Amino acid sequence: MNSPLGLRCLLFVPGNRPERFEKALASGVDRVCIDLEDAVAASSKEEARNITVAALADQPEGHDFGLRINAPDTEFGEADLAALADSKAEPCFLIIPKFETRKQTERVMQVLGRGCPPLILLIESTRGLLDLDFELDDNAPIAGIMFGGYDYSVDCGCDFAWEPLLYARSRLITVARAHRLDCIDVPWIDIKDGKGLIRETRACRSLGFSAKAAIHPAQVAPIQKQFQPSESEIARAKAVIAAAEAAGGEAVQLDGRLIDAPVITAARRILDRLALRQSPHNQ
């Protein structure tokens, strides 16, 4: 289950605001997620569903719009899946909210069949976090895991802040990486606090997250910058790879530090992030 998404930042936009779809993509974000769940009131669900499915059906192949449906085991979620199955809409990924059991992914695949896009599982509860390692289905096209930190904090009864959620983030990263999946962090909800956004994004990257979600276009560039390797990191990574190749597989020192397999792997990951930044998709 290797993630094919290549994300640094994922920008959410309400499904009943079609005028924002293309504007969101114009922000330079890696992917846009059209939201049919929390961003849409119950009274507007049907309207948002109709607008979104029609918009996705008109998108060319290889577009950058994904979709968050309502939970598959709800009435709204069943309606979302039915609408997708009956249309030509092909989101580039599908976020499954409130994930707790593989029955949810099985239901999605049952309805969508071969047309099922890559899935991102959104973990928003204590049960979802504790059972995640057992409920991941190797037969499902799972592309990543996302942390629904605010809902989790409500379920857990803890503050929605870095330290109270550190265990949840750490466990989520551990499970995701054990299954070789990327991990997306919860959005920073204070749009006016740019310093807080940068501080938390930097902390998420250091913890092992590969991307962070956003709720406003102004958050996109700061998030992407924090997930990009610095010039010093790039130079060091290139030097490590060059030293390792010159040693022909033997252990070697660089600037007094041992260069072994874990160090080489870390260097290659940095260069992989550089390649992601320089790819045509992210320019």
Query: How far apart are the C-alpha atoms of 6 and 28, rounded to whole Å?
Result: 14
pTM of the shown model: 0.86
Encode burial over 261-272: b for 16+ CB neighbours within 10 A, e otherwise.
eebbeebeebbe
**Extents of the domains making up the chain:** 9-226, 231-282
Query: How far apart are the C-alpha atoms of 42 and 173, rounded to whole Å?
Result: 32
- The third-level CATH classification (topology) of the domain covering 9-226 is TIM Barrel (3.20.20)
- Tens-of-pLDDT digits for all 283 residues of the chain? 444 567 899 999 999 999 999 999 999 999 999 999 999 999 999 999 999 999 999 999 889 999 999 999 999 999 999 999 999 999 999 999 999 999 999 999 999 998 999 999 999 999 999 999 999 988 899 999 999 999 999 999 999 999 999 999 999 999 999 999 999 999 999 999 999 999 999 999 999 999 999 999 999 999 999 988 766 677 777 776 777 777 776 667 777 677 777 777 777 776 776 665 555 455 4
At 245 the pLDDT is 72
Strand partners, 33: 12, 66
**Residue 43 contacts by C-beta under 8 Å, 6 or more apart in sequence?**
none
Encode burial over 88-117: b for 16+ CB neighbours within 10 A, e otherwise.
ebbbbbbbbbbbbebebbebbbebbeeebb
At 231 the pLDDT is 67
Sign of the dihedral through C-alpha 181, 204, 64, 128: positive
At 263 the pLDDT is 74
